[in-house]
Amino acid sequence: MRIRPGLVFLLLATAPVLPHTVAQGQSNPAPAIPGAGADLQSARTALEKYRDPFAAVRDGYFSTLACVDFPEGAVDGPVEYPPGAMGVHFLNPGNIGPTLDPAKPQVLIYEPVKGKLSLVAAEWFVPVAAAGSAIPEIFGQKLAGPMDGHEPIMPATLRHYDLHVWLWKDNPRGVFTSTNARVKCPKGDAYTVAVGGKHTKH
């Protein structure tokens, strides 16, 4: 069974595609993922075309505009966000459902770098309503959650599980950590959203 995107994603799907200039034709091969297994390497190879954001848009991904930053970190239920950033999320509503495919992440994540967008990670995402009683898994990892939606890019009421996988940018805290201290959102930019205090739960 596939879940219909519905009104929850209508705003995202109709938003302007990019807040930043796109980086086209990125041809430099990404370095090997330290300690990664063949499954991660294969996933990155399958997704390499999305280093060009236009390719992502052609395949149904839509920019959520905001560059999400956790400058002081946060805790949301069972999920810890160390200080760092995520970046700009591109969402594909057509990939949302209870089954996860390594070649079809629900989200691609880009870092704004000198006015261009550089692909840094992919995210596998399952709404609680679609997950059933089992915690979704991929790459031998259980998705983090359940957690609230991350405003402003999705309603807080959208409870979900997710797994960030840093396939194109090294994360000193590990390839599956939600935030990356090496990813930067432009300070003072209209689309940079600092998340922290209001998102933190005790």
Number of alpha carbons in the 13 Å side-chain half-sphere of residue 121: 28
Closest CA to 168 of 112, 93, 111: 111
pLDDT of amino acid 34 = 52
Helices (H) and strands (E) in the chain, counts: 4, 11
Beta carbons within 10 angstroms of residue 105's beta carbon: 28
Q: State the Cα–Cα distance between residues 145 and 1, nearest whole angstrom.
A: 21
pLDDT by 10s per residue, the chain, length 202: 444 444 334 334 334 444 455 554 444 555 555 555 789 999 999 999 999 999 999 999 999 999 999 999 988 878 889 999 999 999 999 999 999 999 999 999 999 999 899 999 999 999 999 998 899 999 999 999 999 888 888 898 999 999 999 999 999 999 999 999 999 999 888 889 988 754 333 2
DSSP 137-156: EETTEEPEEEE---TTTS-T
- Residue 76 is predicted with a pLDDT of 81
